[in-house]
Amino acid sequence: MTTDAALHRYSPAQRAFDTTALLVFAGLLLAESTRLVLAAGPAAALGWGLLALPLAWGLADGASGLLHLALDTCGSVRTPVIGPAFIRPFREHHVDPQAMTRHGFVETNGASALACLPILGVAGLLSLHSAGLQALHAGLLALGLCAVLINECHRWAHAAPSATPAWARWAQRHRLILPPAHHQRHHTAPFDAHFCMANGWLNPVLNAVLLQRRSRRRGRA
């Protein structure tokens, strides 16, 4: 096996690392959700969660676009820590967009769970003695949950319909999660737009910003 191939291989150590990240994420999400229910009551906790989810899903989409842009353009698979866990999957994805459809749940979502742990960590530091703090806590939990689901939605945007759950195909048609035709624009030359991976809602905004930046650079050239 060549050095480059070894760098792109999903190693047992990386699988164990990703599995741990997913388990820790699930444990923290459950613990913090329970804490919110006990502090606010089931009805209030559910209400805060339902209010927070749409906002968190939009924010997660925008954040995924910025992260995707950064990992496409900065560092390499040899970059310590983030290279194997984060940059490797993105670089592999552009060489073989269908590769992620052959990945299991752990490989697809482990890095996302790791990246979301700080969000749950901040939620865990919050006191829940007021309605405002309870709302903020629910927002952080919703953001963590939405962010960890991004790569699965991204994978479904590349998967064959027969390999995608029926409810996910329904959500794609209604633009609740990333539709395949919309995301395909990112994989069409010149490959410099449509970076958002959750639902694509924020792609028009990010595309406009990137277009303006490219125009400025051409103007200075």
Average pLDDT over residues 102-124: 93
Average pLDDT over residues 63-81: 81
Domain of 140, in residue numbers? 3-220
Q: How many domains does the chain have?
A: 1
* pLDDT(121) > 80: yes
Structure tokens at 24: 């820790």
Structure confidence at residue 82 (pLDDT): 72
* pLDDT(92) > 90: no
Structure confidence at residue 81 (pLDDT): 66
**DSSP secondary structure letter of residue 13:** H
Average pLDDT over residues 70-90: 75
Cα separation of 16 and 133, whole Å? 35
Rounded to 5°, the CA angle 218-219-221 comes to: 65
Burial class of residue 85 (count of CB atoms within 10 Å of its CB; 0-12, 13-18, 19+) = middle
* pLDDT(1) > 60: no
Structure confidence at residue 184 (pLDDT): 93
Q: Which residue has the tokens 């992620």?
A: 100
pLDDT one-digit tens code per residue, 136-152: 999 999 999 999 999 99
pLDDT one-digit tens code per residue, 149-175: 999 999 999 999 999 999 999 999 999
Structure confidence at residue 134 (pLDDT): 97
